[in-house]
Structure 1
Amino acid sequence: MTRTRVIVADDHPTFRRGLGALLDSLENVELVGEAADGEAAVALAAQLVPDVIVMDLNMPGVNGVEATRRILRANPDIAVLVLTMLDEDEPVFAAMRAGARGYVVKGADTEDVLRALESVARGDAVFGPAIASRVLAYLTRPLSARDPILFPELSDREREVLELLARGMSNSQIAQTLVISPKTVRNHLSNVFTKLQVRDRNEAIERARRAGLGQPDDARAKSPSNLRPTD
């Protein structure tokens, strides 16, 4: 029988080792590595190419969302199952947009965690009961242009700069609006281009407007495209 090869990424050593020992004791699971932070998880994923990574989100340095994004960018066949204390909307949807196939809150029954692991290993998507209801509500509501769910990889300030850029403002106009220096605007835009993987202002504007930025709030709320996240 083929065993599911798993990496556990969590910055709490007691929890990480305990979960790793539990998984490794299962007949159909092989624990191939442990990571104490996101950077280590990315490196181990590239080296070991596991079937599943059980990923915490709140880790030092590179957090779980960014680690998930990097891992799946390099190898989209790896399944990421988020197992975390965070159950607020923003981390849930940020993890989804990064490509996580499952999201379970720590404290769930062991059987629920194991079922989730088996599901994502098969290629299914799975969310705990509390998370599933939020996902359903999210997919049926319009998004605000300033909702961090749209571009979770951006900081609040970077999202503000992108919004003004999508409105057609120049760097100097953005600087005046936000009461910051033109150099700071350029730095924020450089970060935006890098995080969104766009080449220039035009691509950034196009990406932002497809997501609903740069529009009046009332027009955005009526847009059918805002019923679900847009890349």
Structure 2
Amino acid sequence: MAITLVIADDQAMIRAGLRLIAETAPGVEVVGEAADGHQALAVTRRLRPDVLLMDIEMPGLDGLAAARRLLDDPRPPKIIMLTTFNTDDYLYASLRTRVHGFVLKSSPPEQLLDAIRAAAAGDAVIDPAVTTRVIASFANHPEPTAPAELATLTRRELQVLRRLAHGMSNSEIARELRIGEATVRTHVVHILHKLNLRDRIHAVVFAYEAGVVRPGQEPPGQADEDRTC
């Protein structure tokens, strides 16, 4: 069964390009479009798509405000924010919502399609470039304090969390740690439950706020962790 998609962007050329990308992908059907946040609300509530791909900055009612309203509905769609993230205010406000992904407008088409499929499956996707922006933003924050919940993680879960924070996918983490991808998914579920986090997007924010990883720090190697754990 095809993933139904609504596209919301105030620029007609952008919408046309996104529609073209989506309609060339097997298993994705574009069922509607919107040019602002108010239209996005109306079209999404009428058509009930699986996924809403929405620009964060639109006239009238912006995408973030529209997303918050839709996510309060009884049967909200999976929402992916499409953005340039040109201000940190938008970055932090967006990361703390309950949307299922962030994709930059400069991202390649295959990354956009992967995000749509992942969101439809209930996963959350954060563009690696957004992760980089988070890292840079936390560089100017005060010294983090580790919350008590962090102590509930096992050694392996902590290894997985560190790699999530560096923007690694489940498959990349599996290869790095030499474990199965299904095992990684299980660890992610346990991490989110123990830390009371909604998804991997919030796990990235948590990792930097808690000092699990630090700005400018290279992704950990297995040998390095074996020496320190």
> Is residue 66–residue 98 contact of structure 1 (8 Å, CA) maintained in 2?
no
TM superposition shift of 1:87: 4.1
What is the match of residue 77 of structure 2? 78
What is the match of residue 120 of structure 2? 121
What is the match of residue 31 of structure 1? 30
What is the match of residue 107 of structure 2? 108
**TM-score (normalised: structure 1):** 0.57
Give the letter for the 2:17 counterpart.
Answer: G
What is the match of residue 153 of structure 2? none
**TM-score (normalised: structure 2):** 0.57
What is the match of residue 10 of structure 2? 11
Partner deviation per Cα, 1:199-231 (whole Å, 9 max, x = no partner):
xxxxxxxxxxxxxxxxxxxxxxxxx9xx48xxx
Alpha-carbon separation, structure 2, partners of 1:109 and 1:60: 26
TM superposition shift of 1:116: 1.2
Alpha-carbon separation, structure 2, partners of 1:45 and 1:72: 11
What do you get for the CA RMSD once the two structures are aligned? 2.6
SS, match of residue 113 in structure 2: helix
Give the letter for the 2:40 counterpart.
Answer: A
Alpha-carbon separation, structure 2, partners of 1:87 and 1:104: 13
Partner deviation per Cα, 1:183-202 (whole Å, 9 max, x = no partner):
xxxxxxxxxxxxxxxxxxxx
Answering whether residue 39 of structure 2 is matched by residue 63 of structure 1, we say: no
Alpha-carbon separation, structure 2, partners of 1:84 and 1:117: 15
Partner deviation per Cα, 1:124-171 (whole Å, 9 max, x = no partner):
11111121234467789569xxxxxxxxxxxxxxxxxxxxxxxxxxxx
> Is residue 10–residue 56 contact of structure 1 (8 Å, CA) maintained in 2?
yes
TM superposition shift of 1:76: 5.2
TM superposition shift of 1:98: 2.8
Alpha-carbon separation, structure 1, partners of 2:125 and 2:136: 16
What is the match of residue 44 of structure 2? 45
* Residue identity (%): 37
TM-aligned CA distance change 1:113 to 1:87, over 3 Å: farther
Structure 1: 5+ residue runs without aligned partners?
A: 144-223
What is the match of residue 132 of structure 2? 133
TM superposition shift of 1:38: 0.3
Partner deviation per Cα, 1:103-127 (whole Å, 9 max, x = no partner):
1111111111111111111111111
Alpha-carbon separation, structure 2, partners of 1:15 and 1:48: 21
Alpha-carbon separation, structure 1, partners of 2:99 and 2:135: 16
Moved over 6 A (4+): 137-140
SS, match of residue 54 in structure 1: strand
Give the letter for the 1:64 counterpart.
Answer: G
> Is residue 10–residue 37 contact of structure 1 (8 Å, CA) maintained in 2?
yes
Larger radius of gyration: 1
Alpha-carbon separation, structure 2, partners of 1:9 and 1:70: 15
> Is residue 68–residue 95 contact of structure 1 (8 Å, CA) maintained in 2?
no
Q: Name whichever of 91-100 and 15-24 sits farther off.
A: 91-100
TM-aligned CA distance change 1:32 to 1:127, over 3 Å: same
